[in-house]
Amino acid sequence: TTLNHAPLPRLSGRMSLRQTPATACRSALQFEVSGKPRSVDNLREELFKVSLQHPVDIAVQEDDLFRRNRRLILFDMDSTLIQCEVIDELAKRAGVGKQVAEITESAMRGELDFKESFRKRMRLLKGFEEKELRNIADTLPVTEGAPRLISNLKRLGYKVGILSGGFTYFAKHLQSLLGVDYVHANELGFKDGKLTGEVKGEIVDGNRKAELLQAIAKKEGLSLKQVIAVGDGANDIPMLKLAGLGVAFHAKPKVKEQAKVGISTLGLDGVLYLLGVRDREALSEEQARVPSAKL
């Protein structure tokens, strides 16, 4: 099938030829292609193979009304909005870091049922001091580009949420720092100032994230096509597949294969390029009131 393409607009700012390796890689072009491919899925799959072989992200989207009118973005928290797995940080301080990290990694690869793995990890944390949580919250490393992305989307009228298999204590900390509207995560159980090794209420796993995405979209009066979901692990796949734009962010191979698009070479503000936002149109990091790397 013959496809025709329009001139290629540059979304990123113009680059000097005298760039460091770190800055030279930040370049984004938008290809507008018209025609009738035999299969968009096959086209996406072939371009995905190219992105695996080269340090480049390639996203294929239908250029319709909804691409330009997304209004809700929902993030996974651990290893997406922040650059760590909080439960692993708790485990390190509790002296069970190796055991918990092994279970976490297996769960993120999809080798273990999330709820089963979560309960196993929580039992290992029984007795951890509640007062230590604040110290961990204050040092959470926010992912590069997250404040800039959220600030710019807020300007455009977006609602922002965190759907996490982690903990509400830390998600609410990020909520106050980044201006997040919705938070859904797991509520830690405490007794006498120590973790009980249990959580209150329903565990937020992959299916629960998808249910929450639908509920928030309905509350906001939005079509699912107007929703962006961003995540990295196997328990994010249900919401990535359900959202109009599901973004696998520096994700595990299994997640990249099933998401609509992926970002593996940029920070979270790379999502702006997927929406057709040019650098010159967006707030810079300085204008976006970026918090320090360590919160």
> Which residues, including other chains, have CB under 8 Å from residue 294's CB and lie 6 or more apart?
138, 139, 140, 141
Q: Tell me if residue 41 is catalytic.
A: no
Q: Are 261 and 247 in contact (CB under 8 A)?
A: yes
Task: Quote the CA–CA distance of 51 and 136 in Å, as a whole number.
Answer: 35
Q: Tell me if residue 78 is catalytic.
A: yes
Task: Quote the CA–CA distance of 125 and 269 in Å, as a whole number.
Answer: 34
Task: Quote the CA–CA distance of 217 and 219 in Å, as a whole number.
Answer: 5
CA 31 to chain centre: 24
Task: Quote the CA–CA distance of 237 and 255 in Å, as a whole number.
Answer: 6
Please count the other Cβ atoms lying within 10 Å of the Cβ belonging to residue 76. Answer: 25
Task: Quote the CA–CA distance of 132 and 230 in Å, as a whole number.
Answer: 29
Q: Are 167 and 86 in contact (CB under 8 A)?
A: yes
Q: Which of 78, 205, 232, 236 is catalytic?
A: 78
Q: Are 72 and 222 in contact (CB under 8 A)?
A: yes
Q: What residue has token string 């604040």? A: 134
Helix (H, G, I), strand (E, B) or coil at 282: coil
Q: Which of 76, 88, 236, 269 is catalytic?
A: 76
Q: Are 84 and 141 in contact (CB under 8 A)?
A: yes
- For residue 11 the two structure tokens come to 């979304």
Q: Are 143 and 269 in contact (CB under 8 A)?
A: no
SS3 per residue for 99-123: HHHHHHHHHHCCCCCHHHHHHHHHH
- For residue 274 the two structure tokens come to 């997927």
* Residues taking part in catalysis: 76, 78
